Each structure stands twice: as C-alpha cells, then as structure tokens.
Chains A and B, each alone.
Chain A
Amino acid sequence: MGTDLFPPINFIPVPSAVEGIEVYQPAPVKLPAHREVVQFNCPQCGANTAYSAADSGLTCTNCGFYEPPEHAVVGIQAQRFEFTVDTVQRAAQGWGEARKELQCQSCGAYTTISTDSLTHTCIFCGSNQVIQHAAPQDVLRPRFIVPFKIEAEACHDIARQWLGQSWMTPRSLRRVATIARFTGIYLPFWTFETVTKAHWQAEVGHNQTERYYENGEWRTRTKTVWQWESGRVTVPIKDLVIAGTNRVSPLLLTQVKNDNLAELAPYEPKYLAGLQAQTYDIPLETAWEQARHLMREQTRRACYDQASNSKIRNFHMNLDFDQEGWRYILLPMYLTTYQFDNQRFQVMINGQTGAIAGQRPVDWTVLWLAVAALLAPGLTVGVLGFLTLMLGGLGFPIAIFGFILVVIGLIISFNWVNKAMRMDDA
C-alpha cells in the first residue's frame, strides 16, 4: 500500500467514530437510477420495441432493430436473501396504495393502473412501459427472472396437441387452439432453500411368530415386538418454488410450474417490455410458511425411512431450520381464458418449458348426441331385424347383427364417457 495509491479506486469515505482514523468502504455497485416508468423506443426509428422470446432481446416492431440483453444467465447461482428481521417486518407491509395514475410518456394520455401490475401498454399509442414500483425494501423488488423462450405463436400448436381429438370439449375451448389470444405474463414466485436438521425417536415394531400350546395342541401366532429407535437426519432442500399470487388457479400453477431455475437471469425491465407482469400478492411470510410445511413433511418422511421398519408408533421429532434463504423471481406464463356454460376457464402455458395445463370441461350435450348417434344404427338394425323376424326366418341374422352393433356402440360410448369424466375432473 503506497500513500500515492490512497484511497484505492472504488472506495468511498464513510464517517469515522474515532478522530485520526479515516475509514473507507467499497463503493456500492452503481445501480441505474431507479426509474419509476421505463419506456421502450427503438433507437433507430423511434417506434415501440418489445421483448422477443425468439432471440431474448428487444426487437423493434417497425424496422426490426435488435437490441441484445445485457446480463448473462445466472441460474441457480442467483443471489439468495436471508430472513433478516428487517426484511420479514417490511415484507409484511405490502405495496401501499392500490392504484396508480400513470401518464404515457409517448402520447401523454393518463391511465389508472393497479399497483400489482408491473407493465402497461398504452391503449392510445401502443407504447410499452414497465412500471417499477418503489418496494418496501430493495430486496422485495423482482431481482431475478426467467425470460420467455416460447413464442406466443407457438401456443396454438401446444394447445392443439393438448386438446388432441377431444371433440367432446366445448367449441369455445377448441377456439383456444386456433384464434384465442395468449397473453404473455410474468407471474411472481418465491423460491426457498434450507437445510433441515432433525432428531427423531420412535417405537418401531417387528413381527415375530411364536408357538404356543393351547387346548392340547401347538399353535402359532404373530406378535409385534416394539423397540425404541432414534436417529438424525439432515435434508438439504434447494429452490423450492412457491407461487406468489392467488390470481391464477393454484392447481394450474402447480401443474405448469417447473423447479428448473437454470435459466434464471438478473431482472431487467427490458424482459418485461410489451408483456404483462404481476407483483406478488402472497407475502413472503405466507409463502415461507407454506414452504416450511412442505419441507418439514419431507424431513419427516426421511426420518421414517431411517427407521428399520415402517411400523412406527410414538413418533417424535425435533427439527431445526438452518441456512434459510429466499428469492423473489418472475416466471413466464401464457394465459388465456374462455367462457363456457356461463363459467370462465383458464388455460396456462409455461413460457419457458411449454408445459400446458387447463380445465377441459366436457360439452355433455355434444357427448350424449354422439353416443346417441353411435347407438342409433345398431338399434335401427335390431328393430328392423325384429320386425323381419315376425315376417319370416330372414330377420334372425339381421337382429343378431343389430345386437352386435349395439354392443360395439355401448363399448365405445362407455369409453368416451369414462374419458370425458376424467377430463371434466381435471
């Protein structure tokens, strides 16, 4: 350390509590100034630009100018945060005001948007804007994101494959595969990790056969011998993904969500341009409690597995959560809804993996009509045969043929109804 090199680059002075001692700390990484609204315009022609899943950059809708993303993928190495008392307290505070007045920076039009939206597309001029709400704490803003990889155009193919030859579904649903508009939306998720350390004890039962003498003869009986056992279990749990929103069906979310965070990238407003995005409405504490319940059950199963037999009673365990960490991430989803029978149904496609989930209600009217149509020829032929039978012997084979047709029709119908019931339940 030479005096001429002092202070080193990237170090800034901090107030010292002792006279005669100077203290310097590393300058905080310069974050771009917090912009409440980020507008996306093409540097070449000024038209609106939007995030494009095809090349994971910004593409101009007008002249095709392409702007690549700045940050590399960080994957599961993405920074985790601790449950500091400070964070937990602030996370409980929520987002404050419910709605926000936003002025379009392109055309000046005013719109009111809810604070849970992170993006907005001006309905007057079509410009894409990303709103970055002031979070109760910096770590509670989205910090990591899995960008869209599946293009919106691909959704129809995925939907078509998923629907298969399900002619029993309502026409409105079948339209999803052709004309429905899939909206790209980033949904909030929490990821959690911990190492659970458990100590358990329980009585474990083993069956033993014994012979005994009764009423002048030898018999055998089985009895359970109980023995105390105990053990220690350490279960590292990484990247458990918990939904951060209640606004979409939790069932669908669990069906399409993936725990593969290898494509996690640092959050950039760019990824949100032209897409929709939601902030969390399930707070950190609630999601963490949900995650802990899953984690402790997993640990309990590990304890059970350690016992020498699955016959267990008086089970007791102590569990310590260690090295807890969390992340707030955005995952890409395509959403569409359709109406049937005065009800709204959701279809969801994972924008990263293409996994699809949704309810497929059965149009029972169509199904019963089809069943009727299937059985009609057999019955007609049967009745025809019966009538001919009364006229003479020729009617007998006709009636048999009709009977066979009815049986085949019944078998196929039964199969259909079965399949339809399964689909309806999903």
Chain B
Amino acid sequence: MLEPDVITTAWHANLTLTLCEACDSHYLLPPGLFPFKCPTCFEADLIEIEAERQPNDLLHHYAPELLIPFTVSQQELTARIQQFTGRIWFAPSDLKPNTLLNRLQRLYLPMWLVDSGVEALWQAEVGFNYEVVSHRDQFDQNDGGWHSQQVTEQRIRWEPRLGRLNRTYHNMPAPALEQHTQIMQQLGQYHLTEAVPFQAQALDQAVIHLPDRPPTDAWPDTIPAFHAAAAEECRQASRADHLRGYRWTSDYRDQQWTLLLLPVCATYYVDDEGRPQPIMIHGRTGRLSGPTRASMKRARTTALIIVAVAAALFILSLILGGISFMAPPLLILAGISLLGALIIGMLAITPIIVVWQYNRNQSNRGEREAQ
C-alpha cells in the first residue's frame, strides 16, 4: 500500500491521484483544480482516489526524469483554433474559437524511458570512405578536339567486423499509453533532444496523464532503440564512416524505468448530439488534431428557412396570379416568383447534403488515421 507522500517524493509537488470512470484514465492533478473534466474524453469529472484504494501496479511509482517544455505561444494557439473552427460550414453552436480557448488545459502525456545495461555479441559490415581519381572528357569538333578533366570521386570500402559489447544505454523511449501511436500520428512526433530534466515548477498547473501500459508490455518496443544505439556505437568503435547489416544477440540487466513528459494542450467542443469532441494541440509545433463535426441541426434550420422563403414566394405567385385577372401584365411577375419558389425550394436540400457528406468524410478519415 502506497502512501500519498510517495507521489510527493517522486514528483516534488503536491499532486492528487485521480481517475476518470468514463475512460479509465489516471491523472495527477495539481491542487485547486477540482472539479475537473477528464482531459482525454471530457465525458466525466475526475474523482480522487483515496490512498487505500490506489492501485499499486504501475501508476505512480515511476518518477519523471525528462520533460519537454511547452513552447507554443498563445497567439499560435489562437490562430490554430481559429483556423480549425473557421473551416466548418454549419459548425455546431459550441464550436467557437473563444469557447475552445477558454477550455484549453495543459496536459503532459507520459512516455517510458528505460536505462539498461546490455551485453551482446555483434557483427556488421562497416564502411570506410576513400577517394578515387576519375576523368571527365569533352570533345568539341569546333574547339580543338578533346579536353580532359580530372575529378575525385568518393567511394565506400565495406569490411566485416564483429565483437563483444558491454555498455549501458540511457533513456530509450517506449510508449506508455495504449493510444500513443495513434496520438503521435495525429499530432506529429516529439524530439527527444528537446527534453530537459524534470522540475516540479515546469508542471505549472498542468495535468499529468499516467501510463496505462505496464513496462512488461512496453519493453519489446525499446529493443529497436537499443539496437540502433548499439549499432551507432559499434560504428564509432570501428572508426568507420558507415555501418550496415548490424546483427546482435543481446542480454539486458539492471533496467531502470522513468518517465518522459510530452506537452499537449487539450480542449473540446460539444456536438449536436451533446457528445464532447476532444481536441489536442502539440505543445511545441502547435499542430492541432480533433474530429470536426458539422451540425445537422443547423443545416436543418437553414433548410427550413429556405423552404419558408420558397413557400412565401409560392404564395406571392398565387396572389399575383389572382390579381393578374385584373391586371394581365402581373402574370409575368407571378410566373417569375413561381419559378423562383421552385428553384429555391430545390436548393433547400443542399445544406443537409453538405453536412451529411462532410461528417461522413471526417469519420472516414478518422478511421483511416486510426489504422
């Protein structure tokens, strides 16, 4: 059983462990934010978990080690949100720049960082650059015949190498959320080189999403990073310019798991059906990702208004038709308004088709991105 001060020790901040019962996500919340909507699904308020009910498997006994700070500016966020909301016809009434901006919440997504000792037997082909002398000649019938030019070309000499390796590699990243790959596809990658050592003051009223993927699941995902790091070091060890076909058999020891925090701004809007639609913005690049839903309600209203206009025109044409018995020239006007009523009446279907088409395209795209 973990005491709440375990969290304080690891995070150097007074944070509360909370849970969203709608999506089963765990968060660390800075003081004074209660009540707070789940920044992943926005379906429910987060509830605090008392010390004796806290799960002891993976949630919070991993200390943060690195953090990528927020750098995206307020102007950038505003511009992105305005661009996002501006591109939808018949947007739901809740989809307004100011609403979205007011609901913005800073959120850190977790990633595993693994340190591990590696013992391996490796083999590869290493390449060394060298230069060869070559020639380019030119012949011109009108310019004295041949001209020759010596050029130097670079080539690579490949040689086999093998050896033993006993090294420790630090901070090999692996996804800590089941949704990680999908989120990265939508938001774009984060660069590990931009990470700085964790400091509690960098949290600054941000909510921390805790891992939902245990190290045992994440471990296989770190192997390519260890492989690449070892290959690069073996190239350096061989004093070679290139390396290819790196193969190894590796044993790992003394794994240390810590967290890397990725900055995300989260917000949402409520669609026609009253469902919250979450939106995420990359905390460095400002790239925005979220479902856009056009409002069928507003489309129907618009369609009704158009139908009403058509009906009014139709009635006008009837009246004009009646009067035309006395003033025959009015018959032409009556004909024009009848035609107008017909055309406008047919146009009334357009908003509904547009919205239907738009929502269908959006959900198709969402499915494609999720794959």
List chain A positions with a Cβ less than 8 A from chain B.
1, 3, 6-8, 11, 14, 16-18, 20-26, 82-86, 88, 202, 292-293, 296, 300, 313-322, 324
Contacts and interface: CB of A to CB of B under 8 A. Distances in A.
A25 B166 contact: no
A21 B136 contact: no
A317 B137 CA distance: 8
Contacts of A3: 121
B238 interface: yes
A21 B137 contact: no
Contacts of B146: 293, 296
Contacts, number: 106
B161 A23 contact: yes
Contact of B139 (A11, A84, A315): A315
A319 B136 contact: yes
Given A14-B161, A82-B155, A318-B137, 12 more contacts: A6-B121, A8-B162, A18-B236, A18-B237, A21-B163, A24-B162, A24-B163, A83-B132, A84-B133, A85-B132, A321-B136, A321-B137
B130 interface: yes
A324 B134 contact: yes
Contacts of B134: 83, 320-322, 324
A181 to B, nearest CB: 43
Contacts of A293: 146
B131 A316 contact: no
A314 B238 CA distance: 54
A297 to B, nearest CB: 9
Nearest to A26: B160
A122 B236 CA distance: 54
A14 B164 CA distance: 12
B157 to A, nearest CB: 9
Nearest to A321: B135
Interface of B: 121, 123, 130-142, 146, 148, 152, 155, 159-167, 233-234, 236-239, 249
B148 A292 contact: yes
Nearest to A315: B141
A17 to B, nearest CB: 5
A21 B165 contact: yes
6 contacts: A1-B249, A18-B167, A24-B163, A25-B160, A316-B141, A319-B136
Contacts of B238: 14, 16-17, 23
B132 A21 contact: no
B236 A17 contact: yes
Contacts of A84: 130-133
Given A1-B123, A26-B160, A85-B131, A20 B139 contact: no
Contacts of B121: 1, 3, 6
A300 B139 contact: yes
Contacts of B136: 318-321
A86 B137 CA distance: 22
Nearest to A313: B141
A316 B139 contact: yes
A21 B133 contact: no
A155 B212 CA distance: 92
A386 to B, nearest CB: 65
